[in-house]
Structure 1
Amino acid sequence: MLPVLALVAFATLCNTSSAWAQAAPPTRVQPAPDDAQRAKQVEAEQLFLRAAARIDIKDYEVASTLLERSQALDPSSGTLLNLGECYEQRGLTASAYAAFSAARELAVQTGRTDRAEVAEVRVKRLLPTLRRLTIISPSHAPPSLVIKLDGKPVERDKWNQPVPIDPGVHHLEATADAQPAYDTRVPAPEPGAVATVSIPPWTSAPGSMPMSERGIDGQRVAAIASGIAGVAGLATGTVFGLRSQSKHRESDEHCGPTGCRDAEGVALMDNARSAGNVSTVSFVVGGVACAAAAVLWFAPPFGKGKATQIGLGPGAIRVAAQW
């Protein structure tokens, strides 16, 4: 269906550009408003042609960019249909759904029932596969509150209801009076599922929300604590490792291949072994703690933490949290 749509839209653009070529006076210095619009149509046609060439070689990402620019210059339901196809080929189901929906609306407005029917089929096909996100707005939110998803403002009429999102991890932030109040990452759910994110209640002035409600929750606290414990363990391992090496060198003067010749040599050798054991255990604990910190920090949030405990033992680290 994609080549047919491309030919339909391309034919429309070609007819427009031909009319412009016949009507535009070649000696005009300052173009009239109609001429300026026709110039945009010609540029849109050129972008469309370049996009069609990229579609032929299945370069849908570049084709999408070219079609977006073409649509901005000269809106067309045919361009939107092709843009939706490119989005769908890239797996961007929400973007494809939006493009097909816009194509259907524009086609109805311009009397292109054929394109409206094609867009309707595409919309119905995508509906069961859409991933959706519900953003629950905070209570007592100030009028200046702005919620952004991936850097784009979310319209207020889309708060508190599921809206389609593309696959991947999305950046959600809420600000008031230009002060950041909430910032988090939201992974898209499975196809057909709905994810929900609740922005914490506003406590007072913008920017005064507790850090635990700005994303530094129990999980992040556990990650920071584990990281501190890990660094401490590695530092301890380094200190005792150097001490063990030093004691070994001192014992060389009192000990040989067959054993130590006096009590001082025996004591130095025992101290070297003890320091070496402490160094080994500290390195193990430090490494485990650093790994736990990385997992806790980068993993998706499990929920709002109520209590977090960090425990260290011989050769082990325990991280416990209630959610």
Structure 2
Amino acid sequence: MTKERPLTRGLLAAVTVLALVLVGPPATAAPGPPGEDRQARETARTFGQRGVERFEAGDYAAAIEMFKQAEENFHAPTHWLFIARAESKLGKLLSAERSYKRVLEDELGKDAPKAFTSAQEAARDELSSLKARIPEISVDIRGVPEGATAEVFLDGDRLEAGPRGSRAHVDPGTHHLRVTAPTVAPFEREVEVTEGKNQQVLVELQSTRTSLGKVPGAVVLGLGAVGLGIGTVTGAMSLSRVSELDRLCPDRQCSPAEQPIGDDARTLGTVSTVGFVVGGVLAAAGVTLLVIQPFDQPPTSTTSTTSTTSPPRRRGTPLSVAAGPGSILVRGSF
């Protein structure tokens, strides 16, 4: 936890009495009529007192609102110091970092109130401790298509991504990570990060382009079976037409009336041949995929801080595949 200097009610008293009463308007603001300046300081003092009360009661969200109201009426680095502390208590570490830096941005003169200089000293020390608490997400991206660029989104906000990934400081808690790139499936994951940790996320993008190697072997084998079935049925129908012609055309002399039967026989024969060829090729490919694919391990993604390595791929035994009418022969050992 950030170590806070004892800057609570005692320092606020110095702020409200010294800064709001004795000190004039900030140098960065245009001076207004004396009555308006006095009223602004009184209003800021009221909001500041309420802010400290809310802070000490543990109602940090309300304390932030009170101190912001005080700051709108009268600028004082102590307001931002308390805002930073309250944001830190709420786990809003990035906002707290920005608020601490706002305290340090003020250029205080030699005659600045002690409360203001003490606020800057406290902010400087507490900011150093706060930075050690801010976690980081490191995204390692693999599988980006050549010539393409991945886009990384964290909680809906786009991050700058390099050739291999991106990194960003975040508040502790759960964050939604999304990575996209052309022709690959989007990657999405909820990432849990804790204070002071660097959470590494390995993203392995997978292509959405379909190739034979990505189609399950059973599907290809099924298509091959359909092709062989078509070849078998149409082949039988073609033979039936040929037998009918043999019966109607003795001595192979046919009349014009039998011409359609001959055309049907030739067409069915062609379809049968194509069915056997295509079906045989697909069936052979399907069997090959069934043999090889069980040993292919698909890419995985991990949020582990240690890299994972895929086991060596076992190579399938060379196969000898032959297709014929109504059959398929596969040789090899499995």
- What range is the shorter-chain TM-score in? 0.3 to 0.5
TM-score, normalised on structure 2?
Answer: 0.41
User: What is the TM-score of this pair, normalised by structure 1?
Assistant: 0.42
Higher helix share: 1
For the pair shown, which has the larger CA radius of gyration, 1 or 2? 2
